[in-house]
Structures are given as structure tokens and as C-alpha cells.
Copies of this chain bind each other. A is one copy, B any other.
Amino acid sequence: MRGVFHAVEAREVAFGIVPIENSYEGSINETYDLLATTTSKVCGEVTVRVRHCLIARQGTKLSQIRIVYSHPQALAQCATFLRAHRLEGVPSYDTAGSVKLVKEMQSSKVAAIASRRAARLYAMQIISEGIEATGTNYTRFLILGRKIASRSGDDKTSVIFGVEHSPGSLYRALHALANRKINLTKIESRPVKDTPWQYNFFVDFQGHVQDRVCQQALKDLQHRSTFVKMLGSYPRESSS
């Protein structure tokens, strides 16, 4: 993930794409932490429907499988399926890599959770498809670049801010948005790395930084917080 941010900052690529949250498992902490500490800007978002497959060697039956390898988020999304079939999940670095691992292990006791495409890539068998816990499993990705996207008329803005450790400080900061009827679409807290039990807040809200009302809100937020870091404004996806 860090590599994607670095490639954008070092001008090796024009744009990068990183996962930010899954509709079932929640936020991707690593991405939030990298947004806080790098200079990349958010210039778009894309939401992708996730369909997980249980993948094993050709000829394997579900009843033979004992151990299932995959990325921790994929294992978490399929936890209900794993429990129902008494399968033990073992975390690995990524979903497609776990298919390769299972292929190399040459055992009918092991399987992987990954996409249909990964099964095809390694010529492996799909034992079961759509094994995620909910039929509506989506992952939202952010497009990273070096500039804020221009105004489309239906935009979203992402910022990070910190507040004093005192009663009502978060509430007072959110007043800057609520007071202007700006729709907060997401709020996430992440620990401040070197100060235990202090948090920064990441918020997404409707509007573009070039909109007058957003400019006023951000100015107000600056007065009500210890710092504000602008992450970007970008066209809002209709599905999100």
C-alpha cells in the first residue's frame, strides 16, 4: 500500500488506487494512516462489488477441505461460511497469492478465498462462489494523485482534523459542518501514533472545496480544531 503512495509522490505514476473501506468489514486502517502522513491527494473514488470464491485444486470436494488461506479481510468477510463448514482460516498477504500457495501445496485439505479471476489465472477449481457473509459486499477505493479534482457539481471532500482533549471538542468541531447543513458521509477516528489515547478524525462530506459554503465550513473547522489537513475533493460516486 505504502508503495502506491510513494509511486504517486515520486511522480513515477500519475495516479494510484488504494482500498479505503469495505461495506462489511469497515475501514482499511493502513490507508487512513498513509493519508495522514503523505502528501498524496484524493482525486476520485470507485466502488467495486466483491464476490469471494472458495478455490481449491481440480477434483477437490468441499468435505475434504480443512484449512483456508486468504487475506485477513477476506477471511473476516467469509467468517460465517467458514464456521458453518468448520474450516480453519489462516491469514496470508493477499487473496490471489493464497490461490498460488494452495496450488503449490498440492493437497486436497487446503483451499483459498479469492476472486473468480484468480481461480482462472492459476487454473484452479471454484468450489463455491459468493461465500461472503452478505449479498451486498462492496469495497470502496480511492484514486490518489497530486492534485484535487475539478468541480463536477456532485462532489465529496475529505479532510483530517485533530481536536483538544476536552469535553465537547469533537462536537464543537462538527458544528462547523452541521451548522451549514453539510452532509457528513463518513467519520473515522485513528490514533495519534506518538500520543496514546489521542485521536485524529477523518471526515468525508458532500461538496467541493471550491464551493463557497465548504470554504466557510473549512475556515470555521480550522478555528475549532488543532489542525486541518485537506485530502481532496472529487466527484461523488452515485452508488456510494
Chain A residues at the B interface, C-beta cutoff of 8 Å: 21-26, 29-30, 72, 76, 90-93, 133-134, 136-138, 166-168, 170-172, 174-175, 177-178, 181-191, 193-197, 199, 240
Structural contact, B191 and A189, CB atoms closer than 8 A? no
Structural contact, A177 and B182, CB atoms closer than 8 A? no
Q: 4 nearest interchain CB pairs?
A: A23-B196, A171-B178, A91-B91, A168-B178
Evaluate whether A184 and B170 lie within 8 angstroms (CB atoms) in the complex, with A26-B29, A91-B91 already known: yes
Question: Told that A133-B193, A170-B187, A171-B175 touch, could you supply 16 new A-B pairs with CB distance under 8 A?
Answer: A21-B191, A23-B196, A25-B29, A26-B189, A26-B190, A72-B72, A90-B93, A91-B92, A166-B183, A168-B177, A168-B178, A170-B174, A171-B171, A171-B177, A172-B178, A186-B199
| Copy count, this protein chain | 2
**Nearest-CB distance from A62 to chain B (Å)?**
23
What separation, in Å, do the CA atoms of A188 and B93 have in the docked complex? 26
What separation, in Å, do the CA atoms of A204 and B34 have in the docked complex? 26
What separation, in Å, do the CA atoms of A88 and B29 have in the docked complex? 20
Q: Can you list 20 residue pairs at the A/B interface with Cβ under 8 Å?
A: A23-B196, A23-B197, A25-B29, A26-B29, A26-B190, A72-B72, A72-B91, A90-B93, A91-B91, A137-B196, A138-B196, A167-B178, A168-B177, A168-B178, A170-B184, A171-B177, A171-B184, A187-B187, A188-B189, A189-B189
**Nearest-CB distance from A79 to chain B (Å)?**
9
The residue that A181 contacts in the complex, of B138, B168, B199, with Cβ under 8 A, is B168
Q: Which residues of B contact A24 (CB under 8 A)?
A: 191, 193
What separation, in Å, do the CA atoms of A103 and B175 have in the docked complex? 55
The residue that A167 contacts in the complex, of B72, B181, B191, with Cβ under 8 A, is B181
**Nearest-CB distance from A26 to chain B (Å)?**
5
